């Protein structure tokens, strides 16, 4: 037990002594590097004035905060890591107690004036500046106040208190400066495939004032880091490649490095809350064809669905940026609106066909053949070109005729009124004349052989029966004509329903497949 106690005391004492000793060693090293060597943080870390300082910059994406499609601004939380070599800050670790690195204030050493060219905040500031001179004044102020700009990244963007003004210095002269920040960058949003779209946003970094002859960017960086990325509710980051290039501004060439962030939108949320209701409304419009024309709600139902889809189109337009490209879902809604408008037109035609007036013409032969025969057979409605209803009552009339003429006449009138069928035809009237002849005795024949009863009152009664029969016949023919046009309307209504349903399903499938295929 005593051995353990003395061992603990020894290690604690040794650590305390080393801590006390390391303080003067680090102070001595700082004095040597900055005071003895007369270090100037405004001088580039190169031995030859014609030599360019090499800066390595990498990005680590930690979180996709927001993508504002309307303003075309991407907001991300990013770690920026820059490293360069400063030959004036080299020491031998053996001479300073084995110290291989230390942290110092960022303002004490030279730092590259790297800037994010696509910074949305800076772009907004430049757009408000009055003319070319004001833009250069802003540029000059940013160069003079680079320390304040860096501190603004930590304070204004939500990282207050984070030590972004501290960097790590290695014994071989390598300086590492890493800090987190929230970047608001301009992004050209392409919503043509919304909500199955893929966005390409760019982060372009380069020196603000040093050209390629004074500051060079290390081109060995091939991509940004996505290993620390937190899952976003709306976006999936697929890749983060880096591109190095030289660009001339006037006659001066600058080094630039561009990180391309490729993001794919997560579409299930928009599909369930935006596209699926549109699909259901489009399919619901099929019921307008199923409603009978006599209900009076055929057209009003279609108008209601049309207004609902128009509201969805307005909702989509509010969230999308002003652009010449129309979103995929916008195209779908527009096509569906056209289909619904056509369905209203076709529904009006069907309603008009189902209404028969006094001046309505009979169904043409070609319509009867095309619609009531072929189309009805294709739609599994049977052959409707001919009426196959058998008049059984008419067949039973000769077997049920009373012998008395008055009773027989009343019987015919009653049956004609009750059934509306042609009971009083030439056949029954001939039977009535036979009964009259038997009861009244001799008869006189005309030249054409027509029988005339001797009783003139009975002839007047027959004329009255004929007029009633003709009237009932006209009504029956009118009903038959109306039923013919109603059958035509019913067949066309079902044909339009099938055509609209197939077209709507085809448009829905094409929209989904085309969007997912990208």
Which residue, of 303, 330, 355, is where some domain finishes? 355
Residues 307 and 245 reside in one and the same domain: no
Cα–Cα nearest to 275, from 20, 452, 107, 511: 511
467 belongs to a structural domain: no
Under the phi-then-psi rule, with left for phi > 0, alpha for psi from -120 to 50, and beta for the rest, what region is 158? left
What pLDDT does residue 133 have? 39
More confident residue, 503 or 60: 60
Give the mean model confidence (pLDDT) for residues 132-146: 43
Residues 197 and 281 reside in one and the same domain: no
Residues 80 and 203 reside in one and the same domain: yes
398 pLDDT higher than 70: no
Whose structure tokens read 């000059």?
140
Residues 333 and 197 reside in one and the same domain: no
Residues 71 and 43 reside in one and the same domain: yes
11 belongs to a structural domain: no
pLDDT in tens, 150-170: 444 433 333 344 556 889 999
322 belongs to a structural domain: yes
pLDDT bucket at 397, cuts 50 / 70 / 90 = very low
Residues 203 and 61 reside in one and the same domain: yes
pLDDT in tens, 312-329: 778 777 767 676 777 888
Residues 256 and 277 reside in one and the same domain: no
More confident residue, 352 or 296: 352
Residues 128 and 213 reside in one and the same domain: yes
Share of the chain above pLDDT 90, in %: 22
Which residue, of 340, 355, 370, is where some domain finishes? 355
What pLDDT does residue 418 have? 53
What pLDDT does residue 255 have? 94
Domain count along the chain? 2
CATH number at residue 80: 2.70.170.10
CATH number at residue 349: 1.20.58.390
Residues 156 and 297 reside in one and the same domain: no
Which residue, of 355, 386, 413, is where some domain finishes? 355
- Distance between CA atoms of residues 160 and 154, nearest Å: 5
Name the average pLDDT for the chain: 75
Whether residue 56 contacts residue 114, with contact meaning beta carbons closer than 8 Å, is answered with no
pLDDT in tens, 366-386: 888 888 888 888 888 888 777
Residues 143 and 78 reside in one and the same domain: yes
Residues 245 and 275 reside in one and the same domain: no
Residue 114 structural domain: 38-266
Give the mean model confidence (pLDDT) for residues 263-269: 90
> Which are the contacts of 200, defined by CB distance < 8 A and separation ≥ 6?
188, 190, 260, 261, 262, 263
431 belongs to a structural domain: no
443 pLDDT higher than 60: no
What pLDDT does residue 155 have? 38
Residues 216 and 153 reside in one and the same domain: yes
315 belongs to a structural domain: yes
More confident residue, 71 or 123: 71
pLDDT bucket at 249, cuts 50 / 70 / 90 = confident
- SS3 of residue 9 by DSSP: helix
What pLDDT does residue 74 have? 93
311 belongs to a structural domain: yes
115 pLDDT higher than 70: yes
- Distance between CA atoms of residues 518 and 514, nearest Å: 6
- Distance between CA atoms of residues 511 and 336, nearest Å: 12
- Distance between CA atoms of residues 199 and 193, nearest Å: 10
259 belongs to a structural domain: yes
477 belongs to a structural domain: no
């Amino acid at each position: 037990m005593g051995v353990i106690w003395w061992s603990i005391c020894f290690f604690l004492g040794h650590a305390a002594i080393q801590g006390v000793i390391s303080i003067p060693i680090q102070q001595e090293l700082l004095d040597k590097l900055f005071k003895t060597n007369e270090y100037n943080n405004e001088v580039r870390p190169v031995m030859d004035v014609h030599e360019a300082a090499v800066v390595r910059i990498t990005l680590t994406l930690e979180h996709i905060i927001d993508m504002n499609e309307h303003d075309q601004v991407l907001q991300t939380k990013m770690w920026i890591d820059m490293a360069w070599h400063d030959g004036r800050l080299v020491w031998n670790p053996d001479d300073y107690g084995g110290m291989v690195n230390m942290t110092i204030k960022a303002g004490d050493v030279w730092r590259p004036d790297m800037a994010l060219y696509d910074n949305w905040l800076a772009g907004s500031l430049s757009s408000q500046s009055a003319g070319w001179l004001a833009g250069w004044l802003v540029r000059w102020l940013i160069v003079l106040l680079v320390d304040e700009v860096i501190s603004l990244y930590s304070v204004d963007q939500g990282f207050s208190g984070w030590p972004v003004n501290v960097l790590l210095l290695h014994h071989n002269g390598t300086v590492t400066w890493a800090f987190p920040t929230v970047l608001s960058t301009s992004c050209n949003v392409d919503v043509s495939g919304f909500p199955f779209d893929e966005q390409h946003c760019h982060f372009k970094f380069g020196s603000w004032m040093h050209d390629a002859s004074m500051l060079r960017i290390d081109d060995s960086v091939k991509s940004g880091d996505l290993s620390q990325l937190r899952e976003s509710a709306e976006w999936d980051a697929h890749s983060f490649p880096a591109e190095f290039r030289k660009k001339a501004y006037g006659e001066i060439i600058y080094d630039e490095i561009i990180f391309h962030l490729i993001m794919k939108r997560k579409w299930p949320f928009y599909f369930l809350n935006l596209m699926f209701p549109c699909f259901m409304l489009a399919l619901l419009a099929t019921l307008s064809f199923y409603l009978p024309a006599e209900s009076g709600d055929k057209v009003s139902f279609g108008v209601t669905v049309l207004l609902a889809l128009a509201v969805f189109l307005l909702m989509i337009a509010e969230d999308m940026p002003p652009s010449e490209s129309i979103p995929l879902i916008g195209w779908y809604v527009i096509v569906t609106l056209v289909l619904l408008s056509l369905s209203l037109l076709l529904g009006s035609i069907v309603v008009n066909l189902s209404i028969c007036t006094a001046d309505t013409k009979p169904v043409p032969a070609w319509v009867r053949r095309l619609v009531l025969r072929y189309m009805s057979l294709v739609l599994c409605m049977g052959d409707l070109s001919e009426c196959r209803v058998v008049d059984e009552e008419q067949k039973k009339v000769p077997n049920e005729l009373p012998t008395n003429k008055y009773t027989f006449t009343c019987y015919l009138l009653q049956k004609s009124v009750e059934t509306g069928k042609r009971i009083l035809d030439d056949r029954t009237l001939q039977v009535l004349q036979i009964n009259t002849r038997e009861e009244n005795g001799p008869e006189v024949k005309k030249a054409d052989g027509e029988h005339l009863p001797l009783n003139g009152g009975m002839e007047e009664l027959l004329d009255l029966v004929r007029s009633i029969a003709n009237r009932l016949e006209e009504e029956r023919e009118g009903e038959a004509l109306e039923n013919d046009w109603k059958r035509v309307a019913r067949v066309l209504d079902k044909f339009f329903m099938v055509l609209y349903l197939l077209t709507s399903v085809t448009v829905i499938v094409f929209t989904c497949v085309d969007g997912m295929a990208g």
